[in-house]
Each structure stands twice: as C-alpha cells, then as structure tokens.
Structure 1
C-alpha cells in the first residue's frame, strides 16, 4: 500500500510541476508531500516566484534550485536539512525565506547576497552563530532566530535600519550589542529566556519600540526609576522572572506604570485591586478572546514557529502583485508604433 501511495504522490508532484511549466505559473505548493528529494523537473519551473516546500523530509536541496532566479518566496521549514543550502544565496530576489525547524547550525556569509530579503525565519535549528554579513540584507524587516544556541549577536545588525521585528527568545545571549540602539524602526524586541545579566539601557534611545520581552533572564542590574520613566513610550516591558523582578522598588514602579510587567508580591496584589486585575490568570485569556486587544496581536506576542504562515495564499491580490512585478520584464516586448 505504501508503494502505491508513493507512486501516486510522485506522479501528482510531477504533474504539478509540469502544470507550472506549461502555464508559466508564478506559484507552486509542494508542502506536506513527504518528499525526500526534489524532482529534477523543478529546475524547469523558471517562472516561479513562490515555492512552498515546507513540511517534507528533504535532507538536501539540489543546486539547480539556484536557477529559479525569479523566486521571491521560499518556504523550507519543517524538513530534515542538515545544512543551509548554498544555492539559496543565488536567489537575489528573495523577499521571504523560512528555514525553521531543520538542523542548520551555521549560516554562510553568502547569506548577505540576499539584499532584497524582507522576512527571514530561522527558528529552532540549533543555530550557533548569526553571520555579520546579515547586515547586507538592508531591507530586512522581520528576523526570527528563536530556540537556538546563539551566545552573541553581530554588532553589524545595527545597520539594519528597516528592522521592525526581532525575536531571539530562548537562546544563550548574555548581552545586547550597543549598536542595537541604532535600530530606530524596531517595534518588537523579544529576548525572553536568555542569560542577560544587565538591563539594556540603550532601549531608551529607541522611541519606536512598543513591545519588549526581557522576562526569564538573569538580570541583576536593575533599571533606575529615571530609566523606566523614560521608557513610558513602551506599551509593554516584561521583566518578570528575573532576580530584580521581586525588588520592592521595581514592584512599586510596576504599580505606577502600567506598561511594566513583573510578578507581583502577595502584599501588593492584596493592596491593589487594579494590580490584581492586571495580573489575574484570566487576563491573557481575555485578551486572546478579544481580537482587537493589543496584546493579542502578533506585534505584542512573538508568533510561535508552528503558527508561522508558510502556506500558499493564491488570492487575487497576490496575483495582481505577481503581475506587477513581472511588468518591467514584460515591457521590453512592447513596441510603440
């Protein structure tokens, strides 16, 4: 029975590829097909702009994938890759790349060739080093490296002037590069579950920040009252489950400034009905039930890797966008008489 399923699955995949070639299609979804390798015919799908290969069992990607030079979206998450495919670095038009949930402990310096990249997810791969050359990806707006083994971040990241969302939750980071203060467009910063020992005061110089997660670290260097007052532009500063979070002074400040989150002592919870409401176990559930609530949005909470959308969205809007991208190339075939 398994052989029969494999036969039909393989032929269905080939039929999809042939359909792309004959129709010169822009999008191909080969996710969830238990593919151990890509068919050779994929190199002939040279009109593709979106390719979804997630949720398979791929152990490698053929170098011919680098010939799909029109690709803007590539999803390879949830496979069995043991290294970052070098051919991806040839896809200089890529805007979205997801390689999460593979076994990729190293990213090549050539990643910096992807200068059009806007979104890059590399969560839960065992990644140990983020290459300094990522600074060449100057259009990067979203960067996720959650659940890895990073001990440092490259100081060159400070040049990513378009970066708005950065999550490095659950790593081994002991400090934040001073150049992070240059990320003036950063809105969301998640450094939860690391080994930070100092409160990063450079946050004060980042007025567009709205959501900062520093909970579950080792912070013993408490921010001053002045520091926290200058951070009132934040909608959320989570300092819970740090050595400083139970300090009386910080607990009082958390009562006064509603954007500061720490675990509250029993005395303060008893004294303040407002505080009790803020830290009630049901508060987050209520927020999630209300889709308009700020803390239920992706900007407030780093979306889980399993919830990342790597599916094909074949809508009219996307079709129009694909055509608009192709127009400059098509224009050379138009002759004005």
Structure 2
C-alpha cells in the first residue's frame, strides 16, 4: 500500500506532498550523500539543489524524465545515480557537473548522448546498460579518463576505431548486444583488463594472447566455434573454458556484472 500511496502523491505538485516523498530536506547530510532512490519521484526536488557541498546523489528507481537547471549548483558532485528512470535524453545540465567521477544511467530509454558530455573530463565510470543505443555513442571516445564503460544490453553492432584512444579504459561490458564479429579495436587495447562480450552473435574469436593486461574475458552465450586463446593466468568464462566445474563457470557469469559494480563503488570511494 505504501508504494501505491507514494505513486498517487507523486502526481500532486504541492509542497506538502513533495515533503511526504522526500522529507523536509532542511539540512545537508553530514556525509554529503543524499539518497532519494525508490521514492516514486516524477520531478527532482529543487530544494536539494541548495546542498552545494553534496558529493553523492542517488536518484535511482524513480519516474524521472528531466532535471531542472538548478542541479548545476551541485558543482562538487562526484557520483550521480539515475538508473531505472524514464529518461529519453541525457539532460544537458548533467554536463555542467564537471567534477563527476561516476555516472549511472542504465535502464532508461536513451538512444544517443549529447556532444556536451565531453565536458565531463573527470568521468571514470559510465554505466549505460539497458538503453536503446543502436550505434556506439561517439562522444564517449572524448572522455580521456574513463576506466569502466558498461554498454551491455543495447543494440550495438560494432565499435568505432576511435575507442582505442581511451588509454585509461580498463573494463568494457558489452553483453547482450548484436555483435556479429569480435570488435577489431579491442585487439589494439593492450591496457584492457576486463572484456565482457557475453550474449552476442560472435561465431569465432581471434587470439587474445598479445593483450598482456587482460585478466578476465567473458564470452559465453555466443554461437562461437572456439574459445578465445588467452595468455597464461587470464580467466575465461564461456564454452570450452579451462574450468573444472561447469556450475562454477555458469555462476561466475551470473555474478560478474554485480561484482564489477561493487568493485567500482569500492575502488572509487
């Protein structure tokens, strides 16, 4: 009943109803973290934009489709979570938050990214899984410090050669796309540690032995006729991987995504 009531109240713009959803928001949290996830929000509580010392803002699992210009007051924000909302476009005001390190924008309805995103030069982690991208957003190639990129469960068929410019990139997650071939640009990215191409349409894998930085490759659920050949010590998850326990292998595949996100949060704090 609580969620039903919240859902109904979310349509009422009065100040009293908004306080019911998010509280009074009179004082900035001492830990400079504000969590407004799962509040049935349909609009951002503008009062929160007065907390100009905020470092982390969680707005996941709401019904947001836009953000007010007042959000740009949060110039110290380093983490912004907007996954599981209703955005069809990435609001330009986000591109003014130049201290952002981590941006979670998965499970929305994005099909493109604005060129202004390149202003986020400090961005290290970008999660865009389960959106509506049919082609790789080229502006990502202009983010020099990106370390973790998640574009799983979109409709990508290829990756651009310009991706190779991202020399800080360490993990790329591409599960659940429409890749027919292993992306050639990944063969040139010697600094990559994690590649996830699970659940694509790749029929044959090239040798990956020359990628000395590689630690994990996930390639399961492809119609491949071979396992990728990797250097000694590299973990493989997929058919014909040198794993003594098939159940353990399947379990690794299921938890890889969640483990990656936990590692990002731990390492970035």
TM-score band (shorter)? 0.7 to 0.9
Deviations 1:266-308 (A, max 9, x none): xxxxxxxxxxxx2454x458xx7xxxxxx5997xx2328xx95
Indicate which of 3, 11, 14 corresponds to 2:19.
11
> What's the CA shift string for 1:60-97, capped at 9, x where partnerless?
11232233221110000111222211211111110010
Q: Could you tell me which of 202, 211, 217 is aligned with 1:212? A: 217
- Partner secondary structure for residue 153 of structure 1: coil
Distance 1:142 1:74, change over 3 A: same
More helix, by proportion: 1
Separation (CA, whole Å) in 1 of partners of 2:168 and 2:24: 37
- When the two structures are aligned, how many residues end up with a matched partner? 258
Which of 1 and 2 has greater Rg?
1
CA 1:296–1:192 in 2, change beyond 3 Å: closer, same or farther?
Answer: closer
Gaps of 5+ in 2: 10-14
Q: Equivalent residue for 2:236?
A: 237
The equivalent residue for 2:179 is 173
- In 2, Cα distance between the equivalents of 1:42 and 1:141? 29
1:1-337 aligned within 5 A: 2=5, 6=9, 10-12=18-20, 15-20=23-28, 26-201=32-207, 203-220=208-225, 222=226, 228=229, 231-240=230-239, 260=242, 278-281=244-247, 283=248, 295=252, 301-303=256-258, 308=261
CA separation of 1:4 and 1:97: change in aligned 2, threshold 3 A: closer
Q: Answer yes or no: is the 8 Å Cα contact 1:107–1:130 preserved in 2.
A: no
CA contact (8 A) 2:34 2:58 kept: yes
Task: Check whether the contact 1:79–1:102 (CA below 8 A) recurs between aligned residues.
Answer: yes
SS in 2 for 1:209: coil
Secondary structure in 2 matching 1:158: helix
Query: How far apart in 2 are the matches of 1:167 and 1:260?
Result: 22
Query: C-alpha separation between the residues in 1 aligned to 2:87 and 2:137?
Result: 19
Q: SS at 2:209's partner residue?
A: helix
